[in-house]
Structure 1
Amino acid sequence: MTARTVSYGGGREALLEATVRVVARAGLRKLTNRAVAEEAGVTHGLVGHHFGSRDALIEAAMRYVVERSVAESELESPTGSVDDFARGLVDLVAADPEIQAFQYELSLEARRRPELTRFIREQNDAYRSAVRKALDGMGIGHVSDLDLAVFATLDGLVFHQVTEDRPEDTEAGLTALRALLRAAGAQ
């Protein structure tokens, strides 16, 4: 492990990023305060200080990655054109696949631990809302449950890129999705 320097006031974010890396690499069952602290290069007491409990740490990390993913995915088209829809998705996944892997690990663990289901619902609701907003911007938000279908498609494309590391397939899928959105009435 490479030694990390955490700047004053940067401990919380460093711990969230470390949480993502630990879970993406070893799974949620290997998530401990010590593992996160070691990954972040801080004392393990800092994890408890910032988050209190493991579930609070998981929740904060989930919100952190969803916020980053939505902001960086460029779902919304600045021009209102379907051609710009999700234009940053391939690069987002390629730049930091651990963020996506963390979310899939959390989703799979929720099957075994139902108390985590609320985190997954919150995560998926945030993504679906971002998709709905993007569809509204393209003039097709009125199509019933289209946001769900588009979100599920994007989620599947991201999953395949994370597991197969074939960004060209993700781009091909996005091209096909954009064609479907055009047919649904986008500008």
Structure 2
Amino acid sequence: MQATLRIIGRHGLDGVTHRAVATQAGVSLGAVTHHFGTRDVLIEAALQFALAREVGRLRALALGLQGKAFEVEAWIDALVDFYVSELSQEAETHIACYEAFLAAARQERYRPVVAEWFDTWRQSAELALKAAKSPNSRRHAEVFVSALIGLLFRQLATPRASFRREAKAELLELVASLIGRK
């Protein structure tokens, strides 16, 4: 699955072939075609794998913060630090995620995977914003997730050394305005 995600991150969905995945993964072509009969099954399995990974990490982050006295700044710090690490180590996987978003815009079969992804992001943010006393945690979570996705996409497209500092400041400012703190 990682090999497929790397290919998607480098070449888009069109770059995924059984042969390319086998080569990238260092396994036989027969093994890939046996487990994933069609290219679409292979792509969907890779996207589901990425989703499960992201969902698990977001939930672990939310639960880790839930057990402590909630502080918005600690949540933003942990979230941004998590993504700084992710983007430096797994950029191609995250680029593959954005490819999945585009694929869902074009093809309905990818929409359930992407919808679950967004829902998990929203649920995680909603938990944090509810703890921060947001008057409308669900709507505010939607706005927060949209901003976060945009910041991550911008960093992938045009990397900046100041990303950590700027993203933390921008997200803190957003949350403060959403929950009515100055």
Residues 131 and 147, structure 1, Cα contact 8 Å, conserved in 2: yes
TM-score, length-scaled by structure 1: 0.78
Gap change, CA 1:46 and 1:142, over 3 Å in 2: same
Q: Point out which structure has higher relative CO (alpha carbons under 8 A, 6+ apart).
A: 2
Aligned Cα RMSD in Å? Answer: 2.5
Gap change, CA 1:137 and 1:71, over 3 Å in 2: farther
Q: Does 1:96 align with 2:90?
A: yes
Q: Unaligned regions of 5+ residues in structure 2, if any?
A: none
Taking only the aligned residue pairs, the percentage that are identical comes to 30
Q: Unaligned regions of 5+ residues in structure 1, if any?
A: 1-15
- Secondary structure, in 3 states, of the residue corresponding to 1:145? helix
The superposition leaves residues 96-138 of structure 1 with CA deviations (integer Å, 9 ceiling, x where unpaired) of 1111100111222333333323332222222222222332344
Equivalenced residue count is: 171
- Kindly state the Cα deviation for residue 22 of structure 1 after the two structures are TM-superposed: 0.6
Residues 69 and 92, structure 1, Cα contact 8 Å, conserved in 2: no
Gap change, CA 1:66 and 1:139, over 3 Å in 2: farther
- Which residue of the other structure, out of 113, 122, 126, is the alignment partner of 1:132? 126
The superposition leaves residues 2-32 of structure 1 with CA deviations (integer Å, 9 ceiling, x where unpaired) of xxxxxxxxxxxxxx00000111111101111
1:110-149 → structure 2 map (5 Å cutoff):
110-140=104-134, 142-149=136-143
- Which residue of the other structure, out of 114, 131, 155, is the alignment partner of 1:161? 155
TM-score, length-scaled by structure 2: 0.79
CA distance in 2, matches of 1:134, 1:161: 23
Residues 8 and 99, structure 2, Cα contact 8 Å, conserved in 1: yes
Counterpart of 2:145 in structure 1 is 151
